[in-house]
Amino acid sequence: MRSKLAILVAALIPFAVSQPAAAQDLNIEEVFNCAADGPLGIQTPEECVESRNILLNNCTSCHTFVPIVKAQKSEDAWNSLLTAHRERVLHMSEDEFKMLGDFLRSHYNETEPVPSLPPALEALSTNQPA
């Protein structure tokens, strides 16, 4: 079951990224908001876009992006998640890893609304990776 879902999601991501208004209803600007008035934290909109690409390219091989964007973690909670995850993404540079951390801390926390996802992806939020 999980592998079928993984294939579905893997197929959805590039399509949704290039065509946000398509039938999948994945609103990329809501889920990974890099608008000038979005939750950029210390990042510029350009750094935010780069960071979300880093996330999509490095954080979706073992699980989908769903548990990431549904998280509402404090800064400390993101820092400990990232520390525990560092050895899982050894191919990432320190600069990429730092940008990703800035992006995660400013976007997915208790002051930001949890983004809504298309049903197929929403169903994954209760399926935490093993």
Binding site for ligand HEC (CB under 6 A): 58-59, 61-63, 67-68, 71, 81, 84-85, 88-89, 100, 129
CB nearer to ligand HEC: give 45 or 63.
63
5 vs 71 by CB, closer to ligand HEC: 71
Distance in Å, CB of 55 to ligand HEC, minimum: 6
Strand, helix or coil for residue 110: coil
Burial class (CB in 10 A: 0-12, 13-18, 19+), 97: middle
How many Cβ atoms are within 10 Å of 37's Cβ, its own excluded?
7
Q: Least CB distance from residue 128 to ligand HEC, whole Å?
A: 6
Q: Which is nearer to ligand HEC, 19 or 80 (CB)?
A: 80
Contact partners, residue 69, CB within 8 Å, separation at least 6: 31, 32, 107, 108, 114, 115, 117
